[in-house]
């Protein structure tokens, strides 16, 4: 026997929905929704990920999440050093300020993007923190004179 796709009740062969789920879905699809409700649903979950999708994904271990956080911090430190165009030592005040800017931007992005029903997901947040730190550090790197210096050094040979 087959089961209903939504509630799991047993059904006669060749049926995929029970009568109650069919009626409920029919009402949902034929009732008009405002533009605000449609936009709110899309903005809150643009990929239409459900709870069962989250449960199917195996969580990665805590040491990996911690490694991603430390990797993000190292990238922030590199971004702070690239921001001052490598003119100061790694532990100078201006490098620390650049690293803090990178850290704050990356942390805010992780806080905004790594949530599930207004709860913060640590493993997702660590990945987002690492990626945004990479982006901000890359932005600082592109803004530095490192690329032009490398091109001049290669051209001088």
Q: Tell which of 27, 54, 81 closes a domain.
A: 54
Q: Which domain holds residue 38?
A: 2-54
Residues 150 and 85 in one domain: yes
Tell whether pTM > 0.95: no
Highest mean pLDDT among 54-63, 101-110, 134-143, 148-157: 101-110
According to DSSP, residue 11 is labeled E
Rg of the chain over Cα atoms, rounded to whole angstroms, equals: 25
Cβ pair 4, 17 in contact under 8 A:
yes
Among the candidates 54, 76, 93, a domain finishes at 54
Q: What is the pLDDT of residue 59?
A: 62
Give the pLDDT confidence of 67-110 residue by residue, as tens digits. 888 999 998 898 888 888 888 888 899 989 989 998 999 888 88
Consecutive H or E run containing 115: strand 115-116
**112 shares its domain with 74:** yes
Q: Compute the distance between CA of residue 50 and CA of residue 74 in angstroms, rounded to an integer.
A: 34
Cβ within 8 Å of residue 68, ≥6 positions away: 126, 127, 129, 130
Q: 28-64: per-residue pLDDT in tens? A: 777 777 788 778 877 777 767 777 666 655 566 778 8
Segment 10-18 mean pLDDT: 84
How many domains in the chain?
A: 2
CA distance linking residue 95 with residue 84, whole number of Å: 7
């Amino acid at each position: 026997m087959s089961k209903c796709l939504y509630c799991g009740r047993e059904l006669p062969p060749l049926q995929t929905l029970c009568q109650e789920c069919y009626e409920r879905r029919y009402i949902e699809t034929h009732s008009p929704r405002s533009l605000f409700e449609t936009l709110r649903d899309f903005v809150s979950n643009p990929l239409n990920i459900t709870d069962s999708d989250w449960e199917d994904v195996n969580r990665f271990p805590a040491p990996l999440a911690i490694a991603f956080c430390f990797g993000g911090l190292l990238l922030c430190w590199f971004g702070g050093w690239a921001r001052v165009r490598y003119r100061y030592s790694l532990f100078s005040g201006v490098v620390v300020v650049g690293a803090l800017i990178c850290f704050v931007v990356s942390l805010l992005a992780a806080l905004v993007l790594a949530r599930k029903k207004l709860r913060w997901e640590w493993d997702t947040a660590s990945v987002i923190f690492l990626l945004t730190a990479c982006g901000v550090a890359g932005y600082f790197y592109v803004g530095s004179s490192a690329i032009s210096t490398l091109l001049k050094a290669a051209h001088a040979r």
